[in-house]
A = this chain, B = another copy of it.
Amino acid sequence: MTPPDDLARAVEATLFASDRPLTPEEISRHLGGAAVRAALVALQRDYAGRGVELVERGGRWHFQTAGDLAHLLRRETEDVRRLSRAATEALAIIAYHEPVSRAEIEAIRGVQTAKGTLDVLMEAGWVRVAGRREVPGRPTIYATTSEFLAHFGLSSRRDLPGIDELRAAGLLDPVDDAYALLTGGEDGDRGREPEKEDESS
């Protein structure tokens, strides 16, 4: 390792000591307002290929063990119990479509979603209430959290496996839209109205 400069050392120490991922702003505030982006990039380069790496997940940075060492370190603990199919599908739908209402999740799955399913996802810290959709009934809408990104090793939602292909294939569009597209679009305005989403939270 090439010895880092003082700022990089300070950023390194701060991230190492922190018990949770930090945004650059939080690191900067902790270090008296220094600009830390360059140091983060330099550190990320320093650690590339080591047993520990510096990663960015949803705008927050943390050190973690390298993925290719998983076979040496893997633990099946209480915290990482297997999610049920229902919860896994609901999580995928929220992640790929966010923000979505429960009715939209149910429309895709074709069954009601038990209250407990969303609770489990929220308790795990992966899903949050993202306000209400401004349509009749003002349904609650859900979105994923930065903990979700951190847990599944995603820098951002753009990293979701296959999201570009799914979008290109129209598989993230509602059935009505896809149908209209396939049949020449005379039904084109049947789909969802443009909606105002309340992202207040």
B10 adjacent to A50 (CB under 8 Å): no
A75 adjacent to B30 (CB under 8 Å): yes
CB distance from A109 to the nearest CB of B (A): 36
B1 adjacent to A66 (CB under 8 Å): no
Contact residues in B for A8 (Cβ distance below 8 Å): 51
A168 at interface, CB cutoff 8 A: no
Docked pose: A81 CA to B70 CA in angstroms: 37
B72 adjacent to A16 (CB under 8 Å): no
In the complex, which of the residues B4, B14, B16, B73 contacts A14, with contact meaning CB atoms closer than 8 Å? B73
Docked pose: A77 CA to B78 CA in angstroms: 38
Contact residues in B for A52 (Cβ distance below 8 Å): 12-13, 16
> For chain A, which range describes its interface: under 10, 10 to 19, 20 to 34, or 35 or more residues?
20 to 34
Docked pose: A69 CA to B16 CA in angstroms: 11
- Which residues A11-31 have CB closer than 8 A to chain B? 11-14, 16-17, 30-31
Contact residues in B for A31 (Cβ distance below 8 Å): 72
A66 adjacent to B13 (CB under 8 Å): yes
In the complex, which of the residues B4, B16, B47, B69 contacts A63, with contact meaning CB atoms closer than 8 Å? B16
Residue interface bits A35-52, CB-to-B below 8 A is 1, else 0: 000000000001101111
In the complex, which of the residues B2, B3, B13, B72 contacts A17, with contact meaning CB atoms closer than 8 Å? B72
A151 at interface, CB cutoff 8 A: no
B16 adjacent to A46 (CB under 8 Å): no
B14 adjacent to A50 (CB under 8 Å): no
A167 at interface, CB cutoff 8 A: no
A9 at interface, CB cutoff 8 A: yes
Contact residues in B for A14 (Cβ distance below 8 Å): 51, 72-73
Residues on A facing B (Cβ under 8 Å): 1-4, 8-14, 16-17, 30-31, 46-47, 49-52, 63, 65-66, 69, 72-73, 75
* Across the A-B interface, the 7 shortest Cβ-Cβ residue pairs: A1-B1, A12-B51, A9-B51, A13-B51, A13-B65, A3-B49, A13-B69
